[in-house]
Amino acid sequence: MPATVLVVDDDAAILALFRRLLRANGADVEVADAAGATAALAAKSFDLVISDLQMPGADGLEVLDAVRRACPGAFRVLMSGSPDALVRGHGENSPAELLLEKPVSFARLRELCEEAAAGASCVRSIVDAMGRRYADSIHSAFVKDTAGRYLFMNDAGAALLGRPARAVEGERDSKIFERGTLSEEIRGSDQAVLRTGRPYLYVNAMRGPGHGHVFLSAKFPVRDGTGRIRAIGCLSPEITSLPSREGGDRAAHVGELLRELNEAAAILDGGSNGPLLERPDVERLLAADTACEVSAVPAPFADG
């Protein structure tokens, strides 16, 4: 799977050179000046963004900060022909993850492309695995990139949105959900996963005329081979009919929920044996539930 790369510079000759060199290495390349970068980020997700530091009326650090907000999974590179100017890219809060002095060698560009492509391929294999497992599942399941663009959604999840899965895949949350409490909760839970690098467990409700559904949802970080979070995966078993009282039936149901969530976690974790959910994580979240009338506000299991 080719890496998607955005190069930002005010020099048209440099943009043409980078486009030619990166495409020669198999990358899917977009080039833009600082103003055009905003439109590019709105239209597409990127694995790698390389920005010049000093541009007329623009600052490369500001460009990369916008990238960090719009597409957190992208690897951000700052370049400049002035070593002294690059010092600005240092610092704990700098949006730049790598500083490169111009001229940048083709060998270094090739390395960056190969690393980005490997990460994209890793995520694609996980997306494919989720598709094989959950395409026909009764549970809502999806994977989206860190910009909120859906890479996979099964029919069960798409049905809750009142549209076919193919109409959801490739779209961002901002195109699917109207601004308001729900969209804020969705983005808030995504940000919790990105910020902590841990699963995020919550109960949410979707209501319609004369009916309602309650779900136990878990969002998980999807990492590439370097450990970088490149996407977010989710499984949402319905718990509308979960027995409300303690007993054998409820215990069995909770055990089945835990098994299903951990199966998804194992797929999204690339099949490794990383930390998964434990029964107290689920029990604590459901402890106050007496009639499945639960809050739609996410409650992170990671908080103690």
Look up residue 79 and give its amino acid.
M
The arithmetic mean of pLDDT across residues 225-229, rounded, is 88
Share of the chain above pLDDT 70, in %: 89
Residue range 246-274: average pLDDT? 84
Q: Is the pTM of this model over 0.95?
A: no
pLDDT, position 284: 84
Q: What is the pLDDT of residues 42-74, one digit of tens each?
A: 999 999 999 999 999 999 999 999 999 999 999
Give the pLDDT band of residue 216 (cuts 50, 70, 90): very high
Q: pLDDT class for 294, splitting at 50, 70, 90?
A: very low
Q: From start to end of 81-199, where are the E strands?
A: 98-101, 140-145, 150-153
Evaluate whether 76 touches 49 at the Cβ level (below 8 Å). yes
pLDDT score, position 221: 95
pLDDT band at 100 (very low <50, low <70, confident <90, very high): very high
> Per mean pLDDT, which range of 30-39, 122-131, 244-253 is the poorest?
244-253
98 vs 297, more confident: 98
Q: Is the pLDDT of residue 227 over 50?
A: yes
* pLDDT at position 296 over 80: no
Q: Which domains does the chain possess? A: 4-118 (3.40.50.2300), 135-286 (3.30.450.20)
Q: What is the pLDDT of residue 300?
A: 39
The chain-wide mean pLDDT, for the chain, equals: 87
Question: Which strands sit side by side in the sheet containing 140-145, from one edge to the other?
Answer: 150-153, 140-145, 229-236, 211-223, 200-208
Share of the chain above pLDDT 90, in %: 67
Q: What is the pLDDT of residues 103-127, one digit of tens each?
A: 999 999 999 999 999 999 999 999 9
Residue given tokens 């598709």 in the structure block: 131
**Whole-number pLDDT of residue 241:** 83
Position 288 pLDDT exceeds 70: no
Strand partners, 6: 30, 49
Q: What band does 207 get if pLDDT is binned at 50, 70 and 90?
A: low
Which band of pLDDT confidence, cut at 50, 70 and 90, is reported for residue 304?
very low
- pLDDT score at 293: 29
The predicted model gives 160-186 an average pLDDT of 87
pLDDT one-digit tens code per residue, 134-170:
999 999 999 999 999 999 999 999 999 999 999 999 9
Kindly tell me if the per-residue pLDDT of 196 is higher than 70: yes
Pairing state between β 200-208 and 54-55: unpaired
For 43, 90, 248, the CA distances from 65, given in Å and listed in that order, are 17, 13, 52
CA 216 to CA 231: how far, in whole Å?
A: 20
- Cα–Cα distance measured from residue 63 to residue 273, given in angstroms and rounded to the nearest whole number: 37
For the record, the structure tokens of 48 come out as 């790698």
Q: What is the pLDDT of residue 150?
A: 96
